[in-house]
């Protein structure tokens, strides 16, 4: 799925603030689950270099560590991107299971991002085969 094209379709349907969500840490046997919520902010001057780069990334696991860090720094410097992260510890994962911990991390990341933006997110695009409730 081309996320940028998907966002354009959603914007045409009236959604203004669209966040993408992903996690890291569901596969390993030990360690936390970390989730990131990210939005692309509308700007008059748009840096298309970042988006061309993002379109080329299909699976971050297939990138070298050096390339991932390079892309990460480019994304951090992009004024059109706002994001928030959240971490759920191994202890919590053991209590509630990894799927529920992933959903909790995602909910927290979205809440942090909404607070940062001062606005409610209209639509979530989640990398996974599940949804989350934000209420």
Structure-model confidence comparison of residues 127 and 111, the more confident one:
111
Instruction: Clarify whether residues 75 and 128 are in a common domain.
Output: no
For range 80-100, the mean pLDDT: 93
The pLDDT value recorded for residue 28 is: 65
pLDDT digits (tens, 9 = 90+) for 104-123: 999 999 999 999 999 999 99
Residue that terminates a domain, selected from 31, 58, 79: 79
Q: What is the mean pLDDT of the chain?
A: 86
φ, ψ of residue 121 to 5 degrees: the values are: -80, 135
Instruction: Clarify whether residues 25 and 88 are in a common domain.
Output: yes
Least confident of 10-14, 42-46, 120-124: 42-46
Domain that holds residue 74: 46-79
> Encoding tokens for residue 116?
């940062």
Instruction: Clarify whether residues 91 and 29 are in a common domain.
Output: yes
For range 13-34, the mean pLDDT: 86
Q: What is the DSSP string of 49-88?
A: HHHHHHHH-S-GGGS-HHHHHHHHHHHHT-TTEEEEEEEE
């Amino acid at each position: 799925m081309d996320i940028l094209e998907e966002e354009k379709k959603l914007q045409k349907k009236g959604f203004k603030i669209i966040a993408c969500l992903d996690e890291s840490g569901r596969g390993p046997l030990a360690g936390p689950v970390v989730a990131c919520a990210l939005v692309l902010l509308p700007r008059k001057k748009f840096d298309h270099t970042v988006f061309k780069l993002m379109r080329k990334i299909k699976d971050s696991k297939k990138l070298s560590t050096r390339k991932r860090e390079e892309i990460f720094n480019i994304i951090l410097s992009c004024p059109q991107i706002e994001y928030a992260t959240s971490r759920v510890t191994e202890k919590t994962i053991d209590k509630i299971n990894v799927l529920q911990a992933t959903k909790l991390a995602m909910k927290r990341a979205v809440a942090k991002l909404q607070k940062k933006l001062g606005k409610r997110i209209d639509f979530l695009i989640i990398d996974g085969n599940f949804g989350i409730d934000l209420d």
